[in-house]
């Protein structure tokens, strides 16, 4: 079945925004785009000359034609410019009917009212309609100016990064309370809210490090609020050096919303869709074309994950994490480990650690979720560390980083929730490696901010060892994730991996494979370990360098686009965090996948317990 997105929007004669930009974006994401035209606009890269709404009768026929049985089933509806209340009423009625027929259909709303080049586009007072529209919307994507116009009287606190993020979060929650599913508030216009007196005061407020003014103006911060618990996600990046307050990029709001819609149609959740869409936006803005007009032309292009990491935003769950973007010199990352960690069993006792060591495993994790007592927990960790030292194995301790530091374990593994409260500096200063769990693009963006020693990708298949909030990723998405980060970080696949599906996992090029019940539930664990080692290998040796700056750097400039969602962070042309060129790393991932695939036994083996 085709992944189909319906865009309800106006035309743009300059081909930079509206339905033309929407359909171009959908095409480059590999989804099928159809359009219902709401208005015809006469505009160019300098100005809007005219807006002519279509007749409501014609618009109704467009929707009727596109929702007919002869057309592909619509997965996502993207709303753009709606010029008047007649067309808005028809749109609302259509969405309600479609959601009754298909409760899984999703709606993305970009509340276009004013063009980026200036000029009113719609006569609707959306403030009076929010309580009707937002309950139908799954992802709401206003920029800061649009959000403030829709929440009259709200003032953003620009007295510092924390106060500002708290303020933007409260603004996002306003739309959540009115019924929006996920609110994605784009903060590119934030510097315009800071007056000259505040700029002077903030510039003097910090005698060392980065001033609060620099934090607020040299970087772009977007806020996402999503889920039943109003979970908050901060996306941050540097500003595009090629744009200024008078030269933006045309059509960014339309393109961003369409990119989110495309990712939703491909089965990603809202936060992951936003993370990847923002990377696509950044690439198009950084490669935009200056034609001497008021706005630059966005540069579309086909997606190749091996080239996308340099454009990815960072994601933070707390303001203290967000501060890392502003202080790249202090964010040195964690000690590196081998790019190929080999077989990586996860077990819950020192007894299991002994079995693994005795049978030649060189990388393992001790995960004790419910210790009998604090004394028993520490004894198990201490004994496991000594066993691994004896056999020359790498031992990661799950969660209990203070005990891992005390007993000098090789490394620590932390999940996404653990990262919120964990103190990472002591781990870094002790020289321990850090592994981080991820379950999609947004969490990968957070891991890249923290610069860990490896990134775990999961869960690949359904698993009974742990209750998971996310859906299984599958080998196709795993391959996409590996292609994205392989140039900078070792990768580990985990979740439901058995010998019968190992070939698909290894074909992704992933560096290591983590297993749990494939060994612990096996009738003969020692034999299972040997069989898995034959199929996966024990991994390679650690790099000789003890410390290294990992990941990517953020370029900060004092200029930024009014249309806003851009940054300039690059992977060094010569080296990434692993000291390899990005193109070479991408090639080696494919070659590694080919080598590993040849080593997988082709005969069918008996499945282990799930």
91-116 pLDDT, tens per residue? 999 999 999 999 999 999 999 865 55
SS3 assignment, position 590: helix
Mean pLDDT of 297-326: 93
- Looking only at the bridges linking them, the beta strands covering 39-43 and 48-53 are antiparallel
The confidence score (pLDDT) of residue 299 equals 94
Q: Mention every residue, 6+ apart, whose C-beta is less than 8 A from residue 18.
A: 9, 10, 11, 12, 41, 80, 81, 251, 254
Taking the C-alpha atoms of residue 177 and residue 269, their distance in angstroms, rounded to an integer, is: 20
For tokens 């140039």, the residue is 487
The confidence score (pLDDT) of residue 248 equals 82
The confidence score (pLDDT) of residue 214 equals 86
The confidence score (pLDDT) of residue 186 equals 96
In this predicted structure, the answer to whether residue 563 has a pLDDT above a threshold of 80 is: no
Q: What is the pLDDT of residues 268-295, one digit of tens each?
A: 999 999 999 999 999 999 999 988 888 8
Mean pLDDT of 152-174: 95
- φ/ψ (deg, to 5) at 414: -130, 140
Q: Mention every residue, 6+ apart, whose C-beta is less than 8 A from residue 271.
A: 182, 224, 226, 233, 440, 442
Mean pLDDT of 429-447: 98
In this predicted structure, the answer to whether residue 578 has a pLDDT above a threshold of 60 is: no
- Of 64-78, 198-212, 565-579, the poorest mean pLDDT is in 565-579
In this predicted structure, the answer to whether residue 63 has a pLDDT above a threshold of 80 is: yes
The confidence score (pLDDT) of residue 528 equals 98
Task: Provide the 10 A C-beta neighbour count for residue 508.
Answer: 27
pLDDT band at 389 (very low <50, low <70, confident <90, very high): very high
Share of the chain above pLDDT 70, in %: 83
The confidence score (pLDDT) of residue 583 equals 35
- Of 82-96, 326-340, 369-383, the poorest mean pLDDT is in 326-340
The confidence score (pLDDT) of residue 450 equals 96
- Looking only at the bridges linking them, the beta strands covering 568-570 and 39-43 are unpaired
The CATH classification number of 333-546+593-599 equals 3.20.20.70
In this predicted structure, the answer to whether residue 150 has a pLDDT above a threshold of 90 is: yes
- Of 44-48, 118-122, 249-253, 553-557, the poorest mean pLDDT is in 553-557
Taking the C-alpha atoms of residue 213 and residue 558, their distance in angstroms, rounded to an integer, is: 10
Mean pLDDT of 137-158: 95
Taking the C-alpha atoms of residue 203 and residue 200, their distance in angstroms, rounded to an integer, is: 5
pLDDT band at 74 (very low <50, low <70, confident <90, very high): very high
Mean pLDDT of 523-544: 95
- Of 56-65, 462-471, 539-548, the poorest mean pLDDT is in 539-548
Query: Between 479 and 547, where is the model more confident?
Result: 479
The confidence score (pLDDT) of residue 431 equals 97
Q: What is the mean pLDDT of the chain?
A: 87
- Of 180-189, 220-229, 322-331, 588-597, the poorest mean pLDDT is in 588-597
The confidence score (pLDDT) of residue 292 equals 84
- Comparing C-alpha atoms, which of 418, 420, 459 is closest to residue 438? 459
In this predicted structure, the answer to whether residue 566 has a pLDDT above a threshold of 50 is: no
In this predicted structure, the answer to whether residue 571 has a pLDDT above a threshold of 60 is: no
- Comparing C-alpha atoms, which of 261, 302, 266, 270 is closest to residue 283? 302
Name the DSSP letter for residue 143: B
The answer to whether 427 and 452 have CB atoms below 8 angstroms apart is: no
In this predicted structure, the answer to whether residue 550 has a pLDDT above a threshold of 80 is: no
The answer to whether 488 and 448 have CB atoms below 8 angstroms apart is: yes
The confidence score (pLDDT) of residue 264 equals 98
Domain ranges of the chain: 4-329, 333-546+593-599
The confidence score (pLDDT) of residue 121 equals 75
**pTM score of the predicted model:** 0.88
**Which of these CATH numbers, 2.60.40.420, 3.40.50.10800, 3.30.70.580, 3.40.1190.20, describes 4-329?**
3.40.1190.20
C-alpha to C-alpha distances, 141 to 111, 176, 499, 501, nearest whole angstrom:
7, 12, 43, 39
For tokens 């934030």, the residue is 190
In this predicted structure, the answer to whether residue 207 has a pLDDT above a threshold of 50 is: no
């Amino acid at each position: 079945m085709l992944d189909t997105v319906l865009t309800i929007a106006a035309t743009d004669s300059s081909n930079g925004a509206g339905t033309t930009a929407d359909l171009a974006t959908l095409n480059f994401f590999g989804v099928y785009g159809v359009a219902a035209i709401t208005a015809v606009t006469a505009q160019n890269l300098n100005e809007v000359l005219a807006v002519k709404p279509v007749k409501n009768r014609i618009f109704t026929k467009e929707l009727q034609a596109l929702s007919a049985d002869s057309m592909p089933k619509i997965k996502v509806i993207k709303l753009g410019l709606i010029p008047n209340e007649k067309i808005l009423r028809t749109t609302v009625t259509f969405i309600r009917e479609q959601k009754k027929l298909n409760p899984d259909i999703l709606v993305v709303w970009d509340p276009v009212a004013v063009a980026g080049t200036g000029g009113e586009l719609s006569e609707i007072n959306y403030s009076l309609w929010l309580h009707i529209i937002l309950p139908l919307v799954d992802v709401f994507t206003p920029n800061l100016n649009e959000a403030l116009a829709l929440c009259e009287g709200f003032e953003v606190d620009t007295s510092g990064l924390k106060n500002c993020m708290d303020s933007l979060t409260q603004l996002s929650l306003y739309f959540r309370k009115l019924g929006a599913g996920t609110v994605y508030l784009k903060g590119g216009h934030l510097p315009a809210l800071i007056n000259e007196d505040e700029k002077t005061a903030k510039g003097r407020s910090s005698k060392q490090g980065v001033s609060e003014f620099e934090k607020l103006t040299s970087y772009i911060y977007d806020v996402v609020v999503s889920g039943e618990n109003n979970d908050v996600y901060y996306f941050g990046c540097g500003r595009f050096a090629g744009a200024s307050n008078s030269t933006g990029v045309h059509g960014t709001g339309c393109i961003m919303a369409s990119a989110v819609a495309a990712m939703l149609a491909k089965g990603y959740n809202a936060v992951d869709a936003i993370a990847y869409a923002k990377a696509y936006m950044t690439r198009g803005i950084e490669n935009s074309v200056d034609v001497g007009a008021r706005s630059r032309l966005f540069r579309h292009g086909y997606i190749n994950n091996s080239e996308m990491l340099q454009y990815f935003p960072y994601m933070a769950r707390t303001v203290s994490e967000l501060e890392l973007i502003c202080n790249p010199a202090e964010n040195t990352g964690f000690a590196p480990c081998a790019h190929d960690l080999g077989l990586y069993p996860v077990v819950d006792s020192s007894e299991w650690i002994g079995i693994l060591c005795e049978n030649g495993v060189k990388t393992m994790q001790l995960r004790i979720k419910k210790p009998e007592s604090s004394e028993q927990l520490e004894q198990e960790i201490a004994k496991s560390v000594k066993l691994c030292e004896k056999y020359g194995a790498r031992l990661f301790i799950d969660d209990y980083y203070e005990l891992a530091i005390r007993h000098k374990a090789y490394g620590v593994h932390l999940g996404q929730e653990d990262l919120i409260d964990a103190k990472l500096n002591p781990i870094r200063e002790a020289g321990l490696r850090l592994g981080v769990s991820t379950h999609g693009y947004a969490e990968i963006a957070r891991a890249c901010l923290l610069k860990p020693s490896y990134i775990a990708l999961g869960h690949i298949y359904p698993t009974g060892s742990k209750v998971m909030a996310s859906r299984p990723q599958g080998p196709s998405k795993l391959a996409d994730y590996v292609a994205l980060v392989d140039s900078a970080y070792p990768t580990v696949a985990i979740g439901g991996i058995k010998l019968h599906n190992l070939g698909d996992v290894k074909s992704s090029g992933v560096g290591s494979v983590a297993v749990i019940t494939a060994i612990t539930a096996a009738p003969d664990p020692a034999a299972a370990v040997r069989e898995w080692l034959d199929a996966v290998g024990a991994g390679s040796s650690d790099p000789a360098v003890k410390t290294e700056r990992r990941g990517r750097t953020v370029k900060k400039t004092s200029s930024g686009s009014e249309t806003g969602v851009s940054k300039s962070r690059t992977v060094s042309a010569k080296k990434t965090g692993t000291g390899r060129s990005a193109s070479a790393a991408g090639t080696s991932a494919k070659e590694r996948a080919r080598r590993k695939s040849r080593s997988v036994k082709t005969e069918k083996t008996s499945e282990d317990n799930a």
